[in-house]
Amino acid sequence: MFRSQAKIVAIANQKGGVGKTTTCVNLAASLVSKGAAVLVVDIDPQGNATMASGINKFELSNTICQVLIDNSDISDALVTQTNGAYHLVPANEDLTAAEVKLLDYLAREFRLKNALEEMRYSYDYIFIDCPPSLNLLTVNAMCAADSILVPLQCEYFALEGLTLLIDTVDQLAHAVNPDLKIAGILRTMYDNRNRLCSDVSNDLKTNLPELVYDTIIPRNVRLAEAPSYGKPALYYDKNSPGSKAYCALADEFLAKDPQSVNLKNTQH
């Protein structure tokens, strides 16, 4: 069956603790439930997306590290059975040393992009879970990606950090990936009792209306618990506010993508 090329989306923010991994695995699982074929690529040495998918990062012999450093075929690292029903290229702490080794490679920024080429006709969407910093691994993700989804906690320094990220994206677009753009900004860990959350949220909608998703991800205990059980919230507590919010995000994500009308779920 013919499939158009997958859209590659990097989930990135230079600030940690804003819900990158939570967004990556929950949006991926929600899209699969709606008929999309999805691959998650974990390039964070913490391996949080790997663990949140029900895969023990400590028992892996083939990960994205071998793909980036040893030129291993990415299909050899592919995990097709996860608790999110998406496919996964996992990561673990080996990536920490790998980042140093990458410095010795020519065209080191394009290692991930080149590795993913063979996967682009097997999926509708490929999500890359990035580290919480602008390092060589994150640059690899941005070189490979068509767009960036930015999870953003509505707090005091959020807008300042967002400005820096937008500047970084502009620089990378000029230098290595002219097609790179920000697909959207997702407000996460939202507490409607907090006046600051409301103020920051309103500032975002006022200043970047075309980029901010209408969907807001609430601060939710069940959503926070789910990774410790190795499951996206959809499979941990599908009726939780967090799970429902990511399902709504998936609908909004698909509505903005004309390619989604041709979804055919062919994952095995």
Backbone angles phi, psi at 112, to 5 degrees: -70, -45
Q: Answer whether residue 266 shows pLDDT above 50.
A: no
Q: Which amino acid is at 23?
A: T
Does residue 2 carry a pLDDT above 60?
no
> 0.85 exceeded by the pTM?
yes
- Give the model confidence (pLDDT) of 115-125 as tens digits: 999 999 999 99
Angstrom distance (rounded) from CA 47 to CA 233 = 18
Q: How far is CA 68 from CA 14, 63, 77, 137, in A?
A: 22, 9, 11, 10
Is 143 in contact with 102 (CB distance < 8 Å)? Answer: no
Predicted local distance difference test score (pLDDT) of residue 159: 78
Write out 157-208 in H/E/C secondary structure.
CHHHHHHHHHHHHHHHHHHCCCCCEEEEEEEEEECCCCHHHHHHHHHHHHHC
Mean pLDDT of all residues in 170-187:
91
**What is residue 77's three-state secondary structure?**
helix
pLDDT tens profile 134-168:
889 999 999 999 999 999 988 877 777 888 888 88
Q: Tens of pLDDT along 47-67?
A: 999 999 999 999 999 999 999
Helix (H, G, I), strand (E, B) or coil at 70: helix
The separation between the first and the last C-alpha atoms of the chain, rounded to the nearest angstrom, is 14
The mean of the pLDDT values for the chain is 91
Tell me, what's the pLDDT at 106? 85
Place of tokens 């990511």: 246
pLDDT of residue 188: 95
Q: 205-232, pLDDT tens digit by residue?
A: 898 899 999 999 999 999 999 999 999 9
Q: What is the pLDDT of residue 99?
A: 83
Helix (H, G, I), strand (E, B) or coil at 76: helix
Confidence band, pLDDT 50/70/90 cuts, at residue 3 = low
Q: Which domains does the chain have, with CATH numbers?
A: 7-255 (3.40.50.300)
Q: Radius of gyration (Cα) for the chain, nearest Å?
A: 17
Q: By the 8 A CB rule, do 173 and 180 touch?
A: yes
The predicted model gives 160-186 an average pLDDT of 89
Q: How many angstroms separate the CA atoms of 150 and 56, rounded?
A: 27
Dmax (CA) of the chain: 51
Query: How buried is 214 (Cβ within 10 angstroms: 0-12 exposed, 13-18 middle, 19+ buried)?
Result: exposed
Return phi, psi of residue 103, to 5°.
-60, -25
Lowest mean pLDDT among 151-165, 176-190, 240-254: 151-165
